[in-house]
Amino acid sequence: MRKLIGKNILVTGGTGFIGSHLCERLVKLGANLTILDNSFRSSKRNIESILDKVELVEADVRNFDIIKKSTKDKDIVIHLAAIQGTQNFYDYPDLVLDVGVTGTLNIVKSVVENKIKHLLVASSSEAYSTPQYFPTPETHPLIIPDPANPRFSYSSTKIISEMLTIHFAKKKGFDYTIFRPHNVYGPRLGWKHIVPEFIKRIVLNEEFTIQGDGSQTRSFCYIDDGIDQLILYLTKDKAKNQIFNLGNQKESTVNDIIRHLEEICGRKLNPKYVELPAGGTTRRNPDMVKAEQILDYEPKVGIKEGLKRTYDWYKKEIEYWLKNAKSEEYPWNLRR
Ligand SMILES: NC(=O)c1ccc[n+]([C@@H]2O[C@H](COP(=O)([O-])OP(=O)(O)OC[C@H]3O[C@@H](n4cnc5c(N)ncnc54)[C@H](O)[C@@H]3O)[C@@H](O)[C@H]2O)c1
């Protein structure tokens, strides 16, 4: 880990969920950080513990001049800025595409112009669309099932981002690492995800409906494990010019999650099962063999422990908002 002491690193999307946890870890490891974010889906509050130790650029990743300036004199660039959230894919597919494509194009061009040595780019499990086999290895085809469906605005930007990264790197001589996160969760994840949504319903005593019969699975990866994997990309030469699934191969059903949460909150949740809407995938399971073999990566936080830590954080967060804001300001009521 001494490798990162004094390294100059730019993190785009650095006040978001993964970004804020990564930046906290990088500061601990002695890196000099510049964080760039326009707070589209995050807030400075996420990085308050390190605000006095980093440079924060409040800007849009689509602004080439700012990206060129911010990448200058960096050793490593980590590109996380993107518009996540299924509702956003439907509401603003044009914006999702613009930020995803223009943002990554600005990054790769600036990396070339400023002669940066290593670029890390966040892709997504969504690039596999509905996987054809499980566990899903990095060699699985990337698919855009229907370009007319706004749902695929986000995943298509991830596929284009991978292409831009790989081919600019090959032609222009920098190293890259691309990673495809699978259901990373933990404190600061936001509110439009299954785990915070369930916790919110428990804390606020809301009705507990489940889409489908609860047998659909996800492979949840606790944020600290995800950050461990990201740090391996930065410190192991073998990670260069590779694509990795980022996640945890262990699967949980939605019903498993409910059972664990019942244990954590100490009461029965009695979920009501309703019909699963068409279009969503019912299973995601990353094949983690490549990360295990090349990086010696091994997740450490089990689902029960991860859920407990996440529950405790969200409970406090909800109590904070209930005490300090009006209901229209509660973050869980905001559309994006
Ligand atoms: N969390 C996961 O499980 C997961 C899964 C798949 C892919 N990813 C990818 O990993 C990366 C980080 O994800 P996350 O979970 O932290 O999401 P996040 O939404 O918390 O973080 C993304 C950040 O990008 C910022 N952003 C959006 N538009 C911007 C713009 N135009 N200019 C500058 N900043 C902008 C947002 O404000 C936010 O802080 C993203 O690229 C995401 O697509 C994450």
Q: Which residues are catalytic?
A: 154
d(C-alpha 28, C-alpha 26), whole Å: 5
| pLDDT tens digits along 282-333 | 789 999 999 999 999 999 999 999 999 999 999 999 999 999 999 989 999 8
Q: What angle do CA 163, 169, 171 make, to 5 degrees?
A: 100
**Mutation probe of ligand 1 site: the residue of 58, 77, 80 with most atoms within 8 A of C-beta:** 80
Assess whether pLDDT exceeds 90 at residue 2: no
**Mutation probe of ligand 1 site: the residue of 11, 12, 17 with most atoms within 8 A of C-beta:** 17
Q: Which residue has the higher pLDDT, 14 or 335?
A: 14
Nearest ligand 1 atom to alpha carbon 158: 43
Contact (Cβ atoms closer than 8 angstroms) between residue 12 and residue 107: yes
The whole-number average pLDDT for the span 32-42 is 96
Q: How high is the pLDDT of residue 254?
A: 94
pLDDT range class, residue 93, cuts 50, 70, 90? very high
Across the chain, what does the average pLDDT equal?
96
| pLDDT tens digits along 69-87 | 999 999 999 999 999 999 9
0.75 exceeded by pTM:
yes
Nearest ligand 1 atom to alpha carbon 126: 6
Q: Distance from the CA of 126 to the center of ligand 1, in angstroms?
A: 13
CB atoms within 10 A of CB 142: 16
CB atoms within 10 A of CB 74: 23
- Give the CA distances from residue 131 to residues 144, 249, 283, 284, 335, in Å, rounded to whole numbers and listed in that order: 12, 14, 8, 7, 28
Q: What is the dihedral of CA 96, 89, 14, 326, to 10 degrees?
A: 120
Domains of the chain plus CATH, in order, are 2-183+221-246 (3.40.50.720), 194-216+250-279+302-333 (3.90.25.10)
| pLDDT tens digits along 201-254 | 999 999 999 989 999 999 999 999 999 999 999 999 999 999 999 999 999 999
Q: Distance from the CA of 23 to the center of ligand 1, in angstroms?
A: 14
- Give the CA distances from residue 312 to residues 135, 168, 193, in Å, rounded to whole numbers and listed in that order: 31, 43, 16
Pocket lined around ligand 1, Cβ cut-off 6 Å: 13, 15-19, 37-42, 60-62, 80-84, 99, 122, 124-125, 181, 183-184, 190
Q: How high is the pLDDT of residue 281?
A: 64
Assess whether pLDDT exceeds 80 at residue 13: yes
Nearest ligand 1 atom to alpha carbon 190: 20
Alpha helices (H) in the chain, listed in sequence order: 17-28, 64-71, 86-91, 93-113, 153-172, 194-203, 223-235, 254-265, 289-295, 303-324
Please, what sign has the CA dihedral across residues 130, 133, 138, 140?
A: negative
Q: Distance from the CA of 83 to the center of ligand 1, in angstroms?
A: 6
CB atoms within 10 A of CB 139: 8
Contact (Cβ atoms closer than 8 angstroms) between residue 59 and residue 43: no
Q: How far is CA 189 from the centre of its chain?
A: 8
What is the share, in percent, of the chain residues with pLDDT greater than 70? Answer: 98
Q: Distance from the CA of 13 to the center of ligand 1, in angstroms?
A: 6
Tokens of 165: 């990264």
What is the share, in percent, of the chain residues with pLDDT greater than 90? Answer: 92
Q: Distance from the CA of 158 to the center of ligand 1, in angstroms?
A: 12
Angle between helices 303-324 and 254-265 (to 10 degrees): 60
Contact (Cβ atoms closer than 8 angstroms) between residue 125 and residue 248: no
Amino acid at 117: K
Q: Distance from the CA of 16 to the center of ligand 1, in angstroms?
A: 6
- The length of the chain is 336
- Of all protein residues, the one whose alpha carbon is nearest to atom 34 of ligand 1 is 37
Q: How high is the pLDDT of residue 277?
A: 72
Assess whether pLDDT exceeds 90 at residue 280: no
The whole-number average pLDDT for the span 251-275 is 95
| pLDDT tens digits along 141-150 | 999 999 999 9
**Mutation probe of ligand 1 site: the residue of 39, 40, 142 with most atoms within 8 A of C-beta:** 40
17 Cβ partners below 8 Å, 6+ apart?
A: 42, 46, 184, 186, 188, 189, 190, 223
The whole-number average pLDDT for the span 258-287 is 89
